[in-house]
Structure 1
Amino acid sequence: MSKKLVVGIIGDFRPSRKEQVALSWYNTGYYDSVTAAGGLPVLIPPFADDDDLKQMLSMVDGLILSGCALDLDPVRLGMDRHPSTRVMPSRREDFDRRICRLAVENKIPMLAIGVGMQILNVVCGGTLFQCVTEQLPKALHHRDPVESNLRHVIDIVPGTRV
């Protein structure tokens, strides 16, 4: 029996509210896809301690930076916040930035999805458009008024690490 590749998956996070506890959740498609591809998915919660995070990263062969329906905080990039921006909880953004930075430094392969791709871009020194429809009016519209949980089709090339 060959050893399966271990793929860490970053979940989404919601802080506690008036009568709701804080929680993390994971898109089933992420871990089902890793399993279907022969990998072993590991769900990674938003650790507060960097030593715990480094230990967890030492156990994975790859990482999925998951998507999210919310946005990075543009104020952290020195930008004014656009009225349409819906900022993700700081615990999620802080954690995603930390784990992404460590993964880049340690050359851990990543699949970055949605806001995960934005995190990777920012960690590597990139910038963001807050409102693509205003700032790039000819760009492909990315929001569907009927289906908010968009999915993107990708092709996996045999023999590659994805």
Structure 2
Amino acid sequence: MARRPVIGLTLDSEEAGGYSAMPWYALRRNYFSAVVRAGGLPLALPHEAELAAAYLHLLDGLIVTGGAFDIDPALFGEEERHPSVTMKQARTAFELEAARLAVKRDLPLFGICGGAQLLNVVFGGTLIQHIPDSVEAALAHEQPGPRDRPGHAVSIVAGTRLERVCGAGELQVNSAHHQAVADLGTGLVINARAPDGVIEGIEHPDLAFCIGVQWHPEYEISAADHALFHSFVEAARG
């Protein structure tokens, strides 16, 4: 049996309430099942920034997942904070450290939704803090329907790794974000856009695998979503 590469997935976190009377970690099961179906061995990562290097030594690839929170605007040089911004500082500290170490090691790195935004910040880029207030005639990037159905189309940029992986010039994707990439980080290129011009995907062409997408491919609503996970896991296999 072929070895399954170990894929780290960053967890989400919440304070006491709901699932537990104590603070807790969580992540939807479809993140893990998508990794398993793609041939990987998923490993959940708690938010211990000082242990990021130790965790990275265990991994063949890193997925920075999405979540209902935002990156502190101060981390990309903005003093003003939009009223809609909510933060999880411990999570962001861990994800920044882990992603920076992954880039330094050229470890395959996959950012999903907020994870794509974090990748842009890692490379020195900035973010749109609230799409409805910054993009004229913006689409409903926080779609009202279920996440296992498409919310809008994205156009894939020709010649990018994303195009090679997905094998298509346009995809129907789900959408659950109110922020997006503004100014690109150093070395990154755009690989997907929404019809309203919002950047929906980024990648670093000089690294083994470094892709971020604004949608949630773990729902696998298209063959391209599965192809993204498969390509990432194969890159982690080395």
> Whose strand fraction is larger, Structure 1's or Structure 2's?
2
Distance in 1, Cα, partners of 2:22 & 2:229: 43
What corresponds to 2:47 in structure 1? 46
Distance in 2, Cα, partners of 1:21 & 1:6: 29
Gaps of 5+ in 2: 148-174, 177-215, 234-238
Report the CA distance shift for 1:65/1:158 in structure 2 as closer, same or farther (over 3 A): closer
Residues 11 and 27, structure 1, Cα contact 8 Å, conserved in 2: no
Residues 70 and 114, structure 2, Cα contact 8 Å, conserved in 1: yes
- Which amino acid is the alignment partner of residue 2 of structure 1? A
Distance in 1, Cα, partners of 2:228 & 2:124: 28
Identity %: 34
Q: 1:88 deviation in Å?
A: 2.1
What corresponds to 1:27 in structure 2? 28
**TM-score normalised by structure 2 residue count:** 0.59
Distance in 2, Cα, partners of 1:33 & 1:122: 26
Q: 1:20 deviation in Å?
A: 3.5
- Which amino acid is the alignment partner of residue 6 of structure 1? V
Q: 1:2 deviation in Å?
A: 1.8
What corresponds to 1:12 in structure 2? 12
SS in structure 2 of the partner of residue 98 of structure 1:
helix
1:101 and 2:100 aligned: yes
Residue deviations 1:116-156, cap 9 Å, x none? 11111001010000111221123433112354784454611
Q: 1:159 deviation in Å?
A: 8.1
Deviates more, 1:121-130 or 1:72-81: 72-81
- Which amino acid is the alignment partner of residue 142 of structure 2? R
- Which amino acid is the alignment partner of residue 29 of structure 2? T
Report the CA distance shift for 1:37/1:101 in structure 2 as closer, same or farther (over 3 A): same
Number of residue equivalences = 158
Report the CA distance shift for 1:161/1:94 in structure 2 as closer, same or farther (over 3 A): closer
What corresponds to 1:69 in structure 2? 68
Residues 9 and 62, structure 2, Cα contact 8 Å, conserved in 1: yes
Report the CA distance shift for 1:77/1:16 in structure 2 as closer, same or farther (over 3 A): farther
Residues 16 and 23, structure 1, Cα contact 8 Å, conserved in 2: yes
**TM-score normalised by structure 1 residue count:** 0.85
Q: 1:41 deviation in Å?
A: 0.6
Q: How does 1:136-151 map to 2 (within 5 A)?
A: 136-147=135-146, 150=176, 151=216
- Which amino acid is the alignment partner of residue 124 of structure 2? G
